Chain A
């Protein structure tokens, strides 16, 4: 889940990391505003590389700023409507650095520092980075900060400022359950202080319950994917092929592979998962959303161990009674025979007993 720049910067300031003076605006100001020109006007959308898409404009006068704001508000960048802009004073800096802390699945916490900034960090030569791992039990210790700036040709005040910023950034990272906090560029001012000129934040969606104060937005997702997210369901829309709904992501991915072996393309995939299995209404809502995609075939492939298949069959019935599209159902596990007996009113339904049979029946239905 992505934080917009103004939210990330507000958090940085609360942590003691300086940012340029700026204002968040929802409309074009009438009359002078309390900023010194030149300024930079930035669209507040959760999209990386905004500058390449017209989301960052420099202005050296009130008139230029107003024109930039008017032109930007209401436009769309990567599917997100620009509803607010951040107007910031252009900082007087000597050097631009890159500083980030990320949480990586294999390596854990990683702090990265480079002596230049870039919009294309993933394409940069890793040789220019200092990359250190932060022990999740020990945290960001002083010696790690010293190692981070060791060998850099910074003055002592700059070294200290970078160390302090990295340490504060890690504390913020932990406190808001971030996945990524990136200051890029981190500007170095003539007096040795540093300032966060731009900042990105990604927050762990699993920890949203303990970060209710954060206004987070889903990243790039289709309307279908976003709709299912509201039910706590993960979905992936890929095209116009078979829509697959399964009782788990592993089973879903395997089903897609087996269909691909039969030259059948998947168009959408929904992982109902155990968290919704006790609620037939949510199951029905998810299946209705799939039905509304109008796929050539819907495959419902479920194996349940702990919950009863009766809950699932109630959801299927509620969503698909009267629907006339092609449907293949494999429902195995606890109470499955009883559950299948309740699906009589669902039209055009092919029942499969095994995983392989289900895939074969989908291929036949697609022929």
Chain B
């Protein structure tokens, strides 16, 4: 299985007629995504990459269940585009633009919660379940990505690409890769996705990528303690100075607990295997796959069969392995 986006997801692109929109549309189709249309006010009736362009989201989404929208609108138009999608009943909205006014992002986060929908972003690369559905800018061919059992939840687009490359180089496939978005206020938090991965039948390990600033990773760390699925975590920005945004507007450390080290410490104490640099992730994952492979595979099989969760002994073994790491 996978989370957020599956082979049943119908996808629309808001802003499909621009250069980026077209490029993303072609990529989605190449990856087998059920792209059902695009939306650009004033350009209804056109066609891009073989799919129709509509005047409104409600027209484009009419008749489809489980609709996801990839919003390619410029930052200043994001709020209205995303609100239109949410009002039309879209349950996953990916906001690709960066630099969306913070007030707009906050409103979007709150309103999407009222609608029971997920918003990824602003400044999100999107979500992809290889082999099923790609609602992201990730080029699966370029990255060598294939279906598998590793879930990834990331704050940063570029880190998402790098981890995808590292996993591919290690021969590991992904169930779903989710980029939450790099702006300071985003619609979805790490713990939201950890909950989804924990319930997913085929995800056997999760890679959590975070950065300095904010509490998303700290809240996630508290949840990691209760998870059966092992988590490998890497928080970037161990060199980030206090009170300076590190490129991402969200990556700003105001208190020690929100530093890369503070977050890493808490994740580690709660049972995550923690890498101190990006290139340390494959080693930790391979250790999980190699040492716990049979357990992880059995766990997946048990879940598919609707049988019991892993035993306490198995969980302790995971924790021991984490400490070894």
* Residues of A participating in the B interface, judged by any CB pair closer than 8 Å: 103, 105-106, 108-109, 135-137, 174, 177, 179, 204-207, 209-210, 234, 236, 238, 246-254, 256-258, 260-261, 266, 269, 271, 273-275, 303, 305-306, 332-334, 354-356, 359
Contact = CB atoms under 8 A, between A and B. Distances in A.
A330 to B, nearest CB: 11
Q: Which 3 A-B pairs have the closest CB atoms?
A: A250-B156, A249-B247, A248-B158
Contacts of B20: 306
B237 interface: yes
A108 B237 CA distance: 24
A95 B102 CA distance: 34
Contact of A254 (B103, B159, B214): B159
Contact of B23 (A234, A250, A306): A306
B237 A257 contact: yes
Interface string B25-52: 0000000000000000000000000000
B161 A303 contact: yes
Nearest to B278: A254
B101 interface: yes
Contacts of A238: 239, 241
B241 A204 contact: no
A105 B184 contact: yes
Interface in B13-29: 20, 23-24
B269 to A, nearest CB: 20
B43 to A, nearest CB: 21
Task: Give the one of A174, A273, A332 with max B CB within 10 A.
Answer: A273
Given A236-B245, A238-B239, 13 more contacts: A136-B103, A137-B107, A137-B110, A207-B103, A236-B247, A249-B156, A251-B156, A252-B158, A252-B246, A269-B246, A305-B161, A334-B139, A355-B278
B101 A204 contact: yes
A250 B137 contact: no
A250 B211 contact: yes
B285 to A, nearest CB: 15
Contacts of A136: 103, 106-107, 109-110
A218 to B, nearest CB: 12
B98 A275 contact: yes
Contacts of B142: 305, 333-334
B184 to A, nearest CB: 5
Contacts of B199: none
Contacts of B165: 303, 332, 354-355
Task: Give the one of A236, A250, A271 with max B CB within 10 A.
Answer: A250
Contacts of A249: 156, 158, 182, 211, 246-248, 251
Contact of B114 (A137, A205, A236, A275): A137
Given A105-B184, A257-B237, A305 B138 contact: yes
A249 B234 CA distance: 15
30 contacts: A137-B111, A179-B102, A204-B102, A206-B100, A206-B249, A207-B103, A236-B245, A236-B247, A238-B239, A246-B158, A251-B158, A251-B159, A251-B161, A252-B247, A253-B236, A254-B236, A254-B277, A256-B239, A257-B237, A257-B239, A258-B278, A266-B239, A303-B158, A303-B161, A305-B137, A305-B138, A306-B23, A333-B142, A333-B161, A334-B142
A207 B102 contact: yes
Interface string B268-302: 00000000111100000000000000000000000
Contacts of B98: 273-275
A359 B279 CA distance: 10
Interface of B: 20, 23-24, 75-76, 98-103, 106-107, 109-111, 114, 125, 137-139, 142, 154-162, 165-166, 169, 182, 184-185, 209, 211-216, 234, 236-241, 244-251, 260, 276-279
Nearest to A122: B254
Contacts of A109: 106
B239 A206 contact: no
A356 B245 CA distance: 25
A206 B23 CA distance: 26
Contact of B103 (A177, A252, A356): A177
B103 A250 contact: no
A310 to B, nearest CB: 15
Given A258-B277, A334-B142, A355-B278, A253 B251 contact: yes
Given A206-B100, A236-B246, A355 B158 contact: no
A334 B109 CA distance: 33
Nearest to B209: A250
B248 A250 contact: yes
A261 B281 CA distance: 14
A257 B24 CA distance: 31
A308 to B, nearest CB: 10
Nearest to B139: A305
A359 B139 CA distance: 24
A98 to B, nearest CB: 19
Nearest to A266: B239
Contacts of B138: 305
Contact of A236 (B154, B161, B241): B241
A253 B209 CA distance: 12
Given A108-B110, A204-B103, A249-B246, A209 B76 contact: yes
A103 B247 contact: no
Task: Give the one of A135, A247, A249 with max B CB within 10 A.
Answer: A249
A250 B123 CA distance: 12
Given A260-B239, A356-B279, A105 B214 contact: yes
A273 B154 CA distance: 17
B277 A206 contact: no
B268 to A, nearest CB: 15
Task: Give the one of B155, B158, B209, B241 with max A CB within 10 A.
Answer: B158
Task: Give the one of A109, A204, A257 with max B CB within 10 A.
Answer: A257
A109 B185 CA distance: 12
Contacts of A247: 158
Given A103-B102, A253-B236, A248 B156 contact: yes
Contacts of B247: 234, 236, 248-250, 252-253, 269, 271, 273
Contacts of B216: 106
B263 to A, nearest CB: 12
